[in-house]
Structure 1
Amino acid sequence: MKSQLNGMAIGRRVAKAGVSVMFAAVLSACANYAGITSDKQMTEPQTLATQQSIPSDDGHWPAADWADQFGDAQLKALLAEALKGSPSLAQARARVGAAAAYTETAKSSTLPKVGAAYSFTREQYSANALVPPPYAGSWQSENKALLSASYDLDLWGKNREALKAAMSQLQASEADAEVVKLTLTSAIARNYNQLARLYALRDIAQQEVGQRAQIERITAGRIANGLDTEVERKTAQANLASSRAALASLDGSIVTTRYQLAALLGAGPDRGLAIARPALGIGDEVRLPDNVPADLVSRRPDLVAARWRVDALTHDVKEAKAEFYPDINLSAAIGLDAFGFGRLLSAASRTVSAGPAIHLPIFDGGELRAQLKGRYADFDNAVAGYNQTLVTALSEVATQFAQIRSTDVQLGDAQAAQDAARSADQLALTQYKAGLTNQLTVLNADTNALAADETVANLKMNRRDQQIALAAALGGGYVDTGTAAASSSAAASNTAAIQTNRVVAAR
């Protein structure tokens, strides 16, 4: 007997060992993500050379109402109108709403599911199948009422990572909406400044028409005195007609610019005709804030959106890794099931079920590995997109700042040239009246004065346009309230390759 018991014990141990070997073999045959990783990292702004091109100047970041610096009440009203009625901004807000809805869907996957169901079935059972008499061959009515519940244990965090990814995508969508808002407001401000430019050039053109008309009158008097010929008369008339044509062209450009502003406001073209002449001021002194490269990542909405997308894809990668592990779902149901209505509510009709469901991927033809590779490719693309956005943002700040400084230098020289050209023009006209010079000298002096006036006007408008562009390049007053979370997630994403290697090694 003892030898028999020892034999049974040895058999059980052998059986357990066999099960362990089989289980180990199954696990070793399971799908795994060994060798799939990424070494891409987001560029830190401090590593890019900006000390000379973006110097710290103890300036201030743009405020949300940055356009108020130009002191034009109409511009402020136009911006407020656009933020209420622009279709492009409405589209961006709708995309935020869609992302928020997707986040709620992802959140639901982390919570238990409870449901109730009732069914009524009228069925004739076969007399030659599994159903025994007296139900075989008879018609029966089956009533079934069930209350069921299920819960995914999410041991490996797949659902939690999906929720985190959805929340990061929501943050990215909100930042995208701010990009649309900033693009819209800066476009309106720059078009409004273009309208101011056209009015300034129109003033110059109107003045030129008066000047050319005066030359024509002087020429007529000189012809009467025998000092000029019909050649000079025709030349004066041609120049006057050209000046009037230039004036008419500017009037047409003013109308079309008003139409463009109306479109940006989300209104019909007639709305643009009601826009009065701009009264823009010089604006604030241009000085860059300190630590622009480091702080820009939380003040440029496009950079913030790109950063959140990297964060979302970090969680997408973790979700894809969790797919390689067993998925355990608990479910339970209680209800009533009976033939006919009379016995449905009796205790004997009670039905109860409960148990786990386990899914373990063993061989899937490489589907999970391909999915993870795709997630890593998306992650690499997002990191590269962020890095490119950062480089572009810093370049835009440096470019606009350099252009403003260059325009300031040009403007000083241009104003000196304008004063000299205007003095020469008046002197030439006086001498022409007195018969001391010819018409060609007057026309040359007048042309030079006209060009000098236009140069100064354009430089002034260019500088204001560059101020607007610089405000936009610095984020237009936007500040990301989730920067700390994004920075933390970004740090995790930068070490994704190391984490992956550690998990693979442990596995």
Structure 2
Amino acid sequence: MINLPLPRSLPRRALAATLIGALLSACSTLPAYQRPSADIPAQYAGAVHTGAVQASDTPGWAQAAPADSTPRGPWWTIFNDPVLNELEARIDVSNQTVRKAVAQVQQARSMVDYQRAGFFPTITAGVAQDRYRTSQNVEGKSLAGKTVPDYSAGVSASWEPDLFGRVRDSVTGAQADAQASEADLEGVRLSMSADLAADYFSLRSLDTQKKLLDDSVNAYAAALKLLQQQLSNGAIDASAVAQATTQLEATRTQDTDIDVTRAQLQHAIATLIGEPASTFTLPPNGTAVTPPAIPIGVPSQLLERRPDIAAAERRVASANAQIGVAHAAFFPDLVLSASAGLESTFFAPWLSAPSLFWSLGPQLAGTLFDGGKRKATLHGATAQYDGAVADYRQSVLVAFQQVEDNLSALHSLADEAASQQRATTAADLSLRLTTNRFNAGAVSYLDVVTAQTIALTNQRIADQIAARQLESSVLLLKALGGTWGAEGEGAAGAI
């Protein structure tokens, strides 16, 4: 060990105080943090009935760590729709809600830098010039009754060693808050992209129904024209024409109503991608979309995938750090300060050595009595921690509820779709048979109208069930955290 001589200008007591402060800066009153426990089922109850693939090579429970800012990945590509992919790519660039969340992340990160600045000394400098006069009636002052100019310039520095971890705990809390904001950002991205996908598939469903109604209107108009000709020839009575006219106009009304709903969905999509509704158009596409099979993993992965769960867990960590800050308030503060400068009554000798002044010294101060303020702050921080734990566990419960809700919905909708397909097939067959019988003169046109109405209604119901299946698939992917593999692939761009 090499012994270095101490400078004579530095008092040994001051050096000892500095060294003790440096050693004590390693202390911390931060309680040891452990992630809150949460009850995790061994498997999803609804996965058994939906045909959704659940990972078999991963145990039902694993100690999952929330992935605070892990990008969710382009989960929408599982639907294999190029138009949807293009629209989703605009969310991260133009959606104003996402941009606000990005700004909130940047604000939280700046707070980390602000708290970290507490580790370093504060240095100030200033220059001043003033004139003052002391009352002439004040005894015992050599400057009584005189006007004195004063020129001064100086530098001062102060540093508070982090003896009991107050600054360190504040930094830890700010870092956890920043990570929570990053998870919030991913949650906003996930929510906006899911809303866009749901609106898009609803619009696609309306396009399918619109095509069906357009075809029906054309067919009904052709049938009405034929009936009107038959009426003029005296082959039928006017009731058949009236029935055909009623059916045609009612179908046209339904067709027009779809235009209203489609326009509203198109405007909603425009807002989501950050474009004025008046300048955005989405061409009709009546092609049916088949819901994909979604591998859903194991329940414990939900803790890693869900950004809202990750954000809730990080806020628990932040609340835990605030307990440490509240504990540190019970201990004294050590402040090391120094100042030096020049001061003179006359400007000419201002820069000379005799004008020099300086001061150096530590100050140790602690609160002896505050009426219970610090104790109340500690109790408040502990209560805030308990509340954050409850929020975390509630987030986990809600997440599993949403997964099970959509798994159950997909299961029921699959049964509905199969049953409705049988009904639609039967209705189409009934329509063909009834039309043939009408052409043969065996039944009236009212029977044809009834069969056509039943066939159209059943086809629309089938299309609506398919739309609900797509919506439930989107909501399931959202509930699973926006991904279906062990990790997100093709992650979205970071901030």
Q: Shorter-chain TM-score category?
A: 0.7 to 0.9
Give the conservation status (yes or no) of the 8 Å contact 1:71–1:280. no
Question: For residues 50 and 353 of structure 1, do their structure 2 counterparts lie closer, same or farther at Cα, with a shift above 3 Å needed?
Answer: same
SS, match of residue 119 in structure 2: coil
Partner of 2:144: 136
2:76 to 49, 67, 88: 67
Q: Partner of 2:130 in structure 1?
A: 121
| Aligned match of 1:57 | 54
Return the offset for 1:215. Answer: 4.0
Moved more, 326-335 or 55-64: 55-64
- Displacement after TM superposition at 1:470 (Å): 1.2
Question: 1:243 Cα shift?
Answer: 0.8
Are 1:450 and 2:456 matched, yes or no?
yes
> Residues of 2 paired with 1:269 and 1:346: CA distance?
73
Distance 1:41 1:168, change over 3 A: closer
Question: Structure 2: which 5+ runs fail to align?
Answer: 1-28, 59-69, 488-495
Aligned residues: 441
Q: What corresponds to 1:400 in structure 2? A: 406
Partner in structure 1 of residue 105 of structure 2 = 96
Matched, 1:348 2:354: yes
Instruction: Say which of 59, 77, 82 aligns to 2:86.
Output: 77
Identity across matched positions, percent? 26
Distance 1:480 1:316, change over 3 A: farther
Deviation string 1:171-198 (CA, Å, 9 cap, x unpaired) is 1111111111111111111111011011
Local SS of the residue matching 1:202:
helix
Q: Render the CA deviation track for 1:61-117: whole Å, top value 9, x for unaligned.
A: 996112122222221111122321111111111111221222211111122112222
**2:114 & 2:486 partners in 1: Cα distance?**
25
Distance 1:429 1:62 in 2: 57
Distance across 2 between alignment mates of 1:112 and 1:480:
46
Question: Secondary structure of 1:298's partner?
Answer: helix
| C-alpha distance after superposition, 1:386-409 (max 9, x if no partner) | 111111111111111222222222
Q: Distance in 2 between matches of 1:468 and 1:66?
A: 9
Residue among 298, 303, 317 paired with 1:311: 317
| 1:357 correspondence with 2:354 | no
SS of the counterpart of 2:153? strand
Superimposed CA distance per residue, residues 101-135 of structure 1 (whole angstroms, 9 cap, x where no aligned partner): 222111111221122222222122334437743x4
Contact 1:304 1:480 in 2 (8 A): no
**Kindly tell me: are residues 278 and 299 of structure 1, through their superposed partners in 2, closer, same or farther at Cα, counting changes over 3 Å?**
farther
> Which of the numbers 261, 267, 270 marks the counterpart of 1:259?
267
Q: 1:42 — aligned with what?
A: 36
Q: CA RMSD in A?
A: 2.9
Answer whether contact 1:74 1:278 (CA < 8 A) is retained: no
Query: Once the 2 structures are TM-superposed, how far is the Cα of residue 221 of structure 1 from its aligned partner?
Result: 5.6
Q: In structure 2, what is the Cα distance between the partners aligned to 1:116 and 1:130?
A: 35
Q: 1:460, CA displacement in angstroms?
A: 1.6
* Residue of structure 1 in register with 2:339 after alignment: 333
Pairwise CA distance, 1:360: 1.5
2:205·2:286 contact (CA, 8 Å) conserved in 1?
no
Corresponding position of 1:493:
none
Counterparts of 1:242 and 1:288 in 2: how far apart (Å)?
44
User: Displacement of 1:269 after TM fit?
Assistant: 1.3
CA distance in 1: counterparts of 2:302 and 2:384, whole angstroms: 24
Return the offset for 1:462.
1.5
Amino acid paired to 1:65: P
Q: Give 1:337 shift.
A: 2.2
Look up the equivalent residue of 1:328 and give its one-letter code: L
Matched AA of 1:144: S
The answer as to 2:430 corresponding to 1:419 is no
Please, which moves more after superposition, 332-341 or 389-398?
332-341
Matching residue within 391, 413, 420 for 1:385: 391
What whole-Å deviation, never above 9, does each CA across 1:144-184 have from its counterpart, x for those lacking one?
22221111122111111111111111111111111111111
Distance 1:362 1:479, change over 3 A: farther
Residue 125 of structure 1 contacts residue 131 of structure 1 at CA under 8 Å; is this kept in 2? no
Is residue 296–residue 484 contact of structure 2 (8 Å, CA) maintained in 1? no
The 1:131–1:340 alpha-carbon spacing in structure 2 relative to 1, beyond 3 Å, is farther
Is the 1:301–1:480 contact (alpha carbons within 8 Å) kept by the matching residues of 2? no
- Cα distance in 1 for partners of 2:348, 2:92 equals 65
Per the alignment, residue 4 of structure 1 pairs with none
AA at the equivalent of 1:471: L
- The corresponding residue for 2:482 is 476
Amino acid of the residue matched to residue 82 of structure 2? A
Determine the C-alpha separation between the residues in 1 that align with 2:419 and 2:485.
39
Partners of 2:283 and 2:118 lie apart in 1 by 53
Distance 1:338 1:384 in 2: 64
Query: What residue identity is the alignment partner of 1:122?
Result: R
Q: What is the alpha-carbon distance in structure 2 between the residues aligned to residue 340 and residue 479 of structure 1?
A: 78
Aligned partners of 1:103, 1:228: CA distance in 2, in Å? 85
Q: 1:502 corresponds to which residue? A: none
Q: Which residue of 2 aligns with 1:431?
A: 437
Q: Which runs of 5+ in 1 are unaligned?
A: 1-32, 482-507
TM-score normalised to structure 2 length: 0.82
CA distances 1:197-238 after superposition (whole Å, capped 9, x unpaired): 111111121122233334434544664676643223212211
Matched residue of 1:193: which SS?
helix
Are residues 1:161 and 2:155 paired? Answer: no
Q: Counterparts of 1:469 and 1:97 in 2: how far apart (Å)?
A: 29
Q: Are the aligned partners of 2:208 and 2:287 in contact in 1 as well (CA < 8 Å)?
A: no
Deviations 1:32-77 (A, max 9, x none): x9xxx9xx9834243x575534567228999611212222222111
Distance change in 2, residues 1:423/1:182 (3 Å): same
State the TM-score, normalizing by the size of structure 1.
0.80
Query: Which residue identity is paired with 2:45?
Result: Q
Answer with 155-164 or 60-69: which moved more: 60-69
Residues 275-290 of structure 1 mapped to structure 2, 5 A cutoff: 275-277=283-285, 281-282=289-290, 284-289=292-297
